[in-house]
Structure 1
């Protein structure tokens, strides 16, 4: 895959480098963006973490895997809206600004969370309970596609060029903080109320918290400044047709984001989001212990993310991605094979997977942003990554659970290896962008 035009190499005293240099209030702006990102990912993650507890509230419990599979299927359905969200909110971010798109998508996510937290159960309204769940997840999927498009772009554009990899790790630090917050609420609720109460009513707590926190996020994001890169461009697409034409001219970069995202998506949505629910429902891991193990693993993940960002700023984005792809292809099978009924072992395996994933996730906002020009950056980042996540991410917990119920977990391991190799090959065929100006 080759670009229509070579990517520019920055010089120290270039105008773009001066424009990208952070001002005195940049750290505060970056912190505000991260807090909003954390709140949105909290709302998105609680569904997967708590699915095993509320499944029987929305679907008939057949005593086997029926209710949980139906609930995970709706988790996958929500992902179908993410490409549309990436396209729509990417266009909005490229036309109206990054801040406007981030604020709007966050409020939609909070609204979906409130709907789930307040929804009547199957016992009260029958099949309509499942319909409400689908509607809420579709809204959240649309919002989440927009969040990726806008927030990745915002952080990459506000960061200094020579530390863009490091600053981009704040995106997944805040993402992980959202997942961690959801896990902490779950662990605390399990400790206080017990598994039975969680299944009856306490599962609503994190959804209601997530919805209410949207008000906090609204305040923080409305105070953000627009990026200098967006203010400096005068070529923003005014129509969707123009946007499609601009993206077509950058199709090589779109293909790269798709191939690279394929290498991480399944791994992320299993080991960062869905593994505790899987271990509880298929391995018999104690729910409280599983949730606390998830908390510890995510804390380690957050602590190591900046190290990957620093490494990519020093050696480049490509070598770090190549290392991830090769390493994941090697350990994908052992990770699943070693999982048993021990929460401690689950936590250790999760920690290994998460630390390795940091090589990819930590640098993704920087690398993807560096592949596109400013006028279509949010759209390109949002569409390429959201399309792949829609196809592979939402179905990952469902597919793993379904294959496990048929003693075919090895098939899922093979699936993970193949996708890791797709990401590896894409990285080898992609250009190095470390040090490039965002034009």
Structure 2
């Protein structure tokens, strides 16, 4: 079990590294692929391409989710990482707008769509794989390591971009420096693919194969018989995804463009947030095995409702202590969510359609809420002229999220659903 979860975690980290790079380079990519006299227009165009990848994710979910329920979790996960790494590596080879004109942003958008399609199958397959291997009494702890891997991927991307931003002159970063993180995806993807190819599928799925009970129409089964749990999944992922992408993707540009913090300092602040997440997520997973998943999810929602405004007030002070305190305050609210959801979501569905149910609910929610979070937050700041606007967005979302959280069943310590 330890080997299976570790390999899934490393593969997950590799794939989310690929996906996160774009967000951390949004400002630079805006100038390279969407040049404009107004930096805000370039940034909005860059975040629009970021959001488009999320819109294609449900298509990937409807493809890879059922695939994992038909041919197995391990095979599906191997395909997703291969496609993701290839698309990310190709972005690093693209010419900029100054060289290729309109072809450059079109090619970038196409490759982002390929990334979105691949990642549409990642979380559903990986979370199902980890949860089906984990023992009931320690499912929260083992499942949290998958989210740890995802944040580690974000952290690796953030740290690499921070180093490049600090040590490379601006002209070098615009000319060739931005390509380096994308090109590294090639060897990283090869490592992740190798690890996943060595895995054995979960006991739960192998039992379905042995009994000839593998679902023939998992999408129809899921949407007909388990639609209520799909809606609960969408609602829980709503505030999880908005919080994650506000902290890890929106904040670098918010610090540098709105609060006028240096680009290097902005990346280091987000790196600090990611580091706190990697420490807190396993702890939250362990705690959820003892006190339950729902108390932590409720606490996180209430935390955002109470602390989002003070966090943005601290950041508005502009000092490094204020900036760091503000972003870490938001991060503390996010930890209980990320530490528990990987155990919560797969447990909503029976084995036959687990990959399909989680993939659809997770990615539909990310398409609607997560992918648009940086774009909407940037738009709100630009239109209102207030640096506090994203705080009110987080408050509203967290209060709405209490509804699906309270409607969800408590699954800590209980066996996974079989039927």
1:398 to 344, 360, 375: 375
Q: How far did residue 188 of structure 1 move?
A: 1.6
Q: Does residue 299 of structure 2 align to residue 288 of structure 1? A: no
Q: Deviations over 1:251-277 (max 9, x none)?
A: 111111011112222111111222112
Q: How is 1:172-183 mapped onto 2 (pairs within 5 angstroms)?
A: 172-183=147-158
Report the counterpart of residue 415 of structure 1 in structure 2: 393
1:73 to 48, 65, 86: 48
Q: How far did residue 196 of structure 1 move?
A: 3.5
Contact 1:262-1:422 within 8 A present in 2 as well: no
Q: State the distance in 1 between where 2:356 and 2:272 align.
A: 35
Q: Does residue 376 of structure 2 align to residue 383 of structure 1? A: no
Q: How far did residue 411 of structure 1 move?
A: 4.5
Change (3 A) 1:343 1:410: closer
SS of alignment partner, residue 120 of structure 2: helix
Moved more, 314-323 or 422-431: 422-431
Q: State the distance in 2 between where 1:170 and 1:273 align.
A: 21
Change (3 A) 1:342 1:96: farther
Moved more, 404-413 or 110-119: 404-413
1:256 to 232, 257, 272: 232
Q: State the distance in 2 between where 1:357 and 1:127 align.
A: 39
Q: Does residue 129 of structure 2 align to residue 154 of structure 1? A: yes
Q: Deviations over 1:61-99 (max 9, x none)?
A: 213311111011000000011111112111010111111
Report the counterpart of residue 221 of structure 2 in structure 1: 245
Q: TM-score, normalised by structure 1?
A: 0.90
1:297 to 273, 280, 288: 273
Runs of 4+ in 1 over 6 A off after TM superposition: none
Aligned residue-pair number: 412
Q: How is 1:210-221 mapped onto 2 (pairs within 5 angstroms)?
A: 210-221=185-196
Q: Deviations over 1:343-367 (max 9, x none)?
A: 4433332222222211011111111
SS of alignment partner, residue 114 of structure 1: helix
Q: State the distance in 1 between where 2:248 and 2:159 align.
A: 14
> Is there any run of 5+ residues in structure 2 with no aligned partner, and where?
none
Q: State the distance in 1 between where 2:222 and 2:15 align.
A: 29
Q: Deviations over 1:364-413 (max 9, x none)?
A: 11111111000100110110011011011111111111221221555533
Q: State the distance in 2 between where 1:254 and 1:405 align.
A: 34
Q: Does residue 392 of structure 2 align to residue 433 of structure 1? A: no
Moved more, 411-420 or 423-432: 411-420
SS of alignment partner, residue 105 of structure 1: helix
Q: State the distance in 2 between where 1:396 and 1:120 align.
A: 28
Moved more, 57-66 or 132-141: 57-66
Contact 1:278-1:397 within 8 A present in 2 as well: no
Change (3 A) 1:246 1:295: closer
Q: State the distance in 1 between where 2:319 and 2:29 align.
A: 23
Q: TM-score, normalised by structure 2?
A: 0.95
Q: Deviations over 1:119-154 (max 9, x none)?
A: 111111111111011101101111111001101111
Contact 2:250-2:377 within 8 A present in 1 as well: no
Q: How far did residue 178 of structure 1 move?
A: 0.4
Report the counterpart of residue 334 of structure 1 in structure 2: 310
Report the counterpart of residue 274 of structure 1 in structure 2: 250
SS of alignment partner, residue 362 of structure 1: helix
Report the counterpart of residue 72 of structure 2 in structure 1: 97
Contact 1:40-1:109 within 8 A present in 2 as well: yes
Q: State the distance in 1 between where 2:138 and 2:387 align.
A: 41
Q: How far did residue 287 of structure 1 move?
A: 1.3
Report the counterpart of residue 402 of structure 2 in structure 1: 424
